[in-house]
A and B are shown apart, each in its own frame.
Chain A
C-alpha cells in the first residue's frame, strides 16, 4: 500500500534552474496539497487541488506552479529556483465529500537546497 509517494527525496539546484517535484497517490483521493516546511514556521500551504483540472493558490504560491491532469498526480514546478525556496516540501492528499473532515496523508518529503 504505497499511499503518497514523492520523488526525489533530495535535490540540490543552482540558482535559476528549474525542476519538478513529483507527487502521486494511489488512494483515489480527490484533494491534494503541497506544503513547505521552514524552521520555526511550521507547514505553509503552497497550492492545493480539489480534483483533476482544478487548482488554487495557498498561502505562499509565488515562484511555484502546479497542474492536476489526473486524480493520482499533482506535480509542483519551480521555474527559476531562488535561495528562498530552500526547504522541505511535503505533498499530502485526502478524501473530501464537501468538508475537511477526513485526515490528510503525507508523503515522506523532498529536501531541496538552492545554492
Chain B
C-alpha cells in the first residue's frame, strides 16, 4: 500500500486567520491528487482534482498547489470562517483505479 500522509493531524485557528495543510504522496507513477472536504455528519465533497506538476486550483477562499516531482500538495484557506471547520482529506490513486485516502487534517475555526 502506497500511503498518503497529511499534516498536521488537527488545527485550531481563529476566525480571519489564514492557514495551510500538507499532503505528501509517493512521487513515482503519478496519476492525480484529490482534495476533499468532510463536514461532521455529512459525506466527503470534492474540492479539487489536480493532475499536472505546478497545478494551482482555487475555489473561493480555498486554493491548492501541487508538486509531483517532490510528492506534496498544499491546501490554503485564506481568512478562515467557522463554516470552514471540517476534515480535509487528500487522496492518491497508486494504481489509477482507486484512491488511497490520508487520515485528514481536522480544522476547527472559532469566532
Binding site for B on A (CB under 8 A): 31, 33, 35, 40-45, 48, 50, 56, 58-59, 90, 98-109
**Which residues from B are CB-within-8-Å of A107?**
43
Assess whether B31 is interfacial by the CB under 8 Å rule: yes
Q: Is chain B's interface secondary structure helix, strand, loop, or mixed overall?
A: loop
Interface residues of B in 69-111 (CB under 8 A from A): 89, 93, 96-104
Contact residues of B between 50 and 71, Cβ < 8 Å to A: 51
Partner of B46, one of A33, A59, A103: A103
A108 to B44, CA, bound (A): 9
Closest to A4 in B: B43
Contact A99 B99 (CB under 8 A): no
Question: Could you list which residues of chain B lie within 8 angstroms of chain A, going by C-beta atoms?
Answer: 1, 31-32, 34, 36, 42-46, 49, 51, 89, 93, 96-104
Is A40 a contact of B103 with CB atoms below 8 Å? yes
Given known pairs A45-B98, A45-B99, A50-B97, the reply for A101 and B89 (CB within 8 Å) is: no
Q: Which of B98, B99, B101 has the most CB of A within 10 A?
A: B98
| CB-based contact B46/A104 at 8 Å | yes
In this complex, the member of B45, B97, B102 whose beta carbon has the largest number of chain A beta carbons within 10 angstroms is B97
Residue numbers in A under 8 Å from B96 (CB-CB):
98-100
Q: Are B99's CB and A100's CB within 8 A?
A: yes
- A63, B32: Cα distance in complex, Å: 30
Report how far A107 CA is from B43 CA in the complex, Å: 7
Query: In whole angstroms, what is the CA distance A109 to B49 when docked?
Result: 22
Most chain A CB neighbours (cut-off 10 Å) among B31, B43, B49, B97: B43
Given contacts A40-B103, A42-B103, A42-B104, contact A103 B98 (CB under 8 A): no
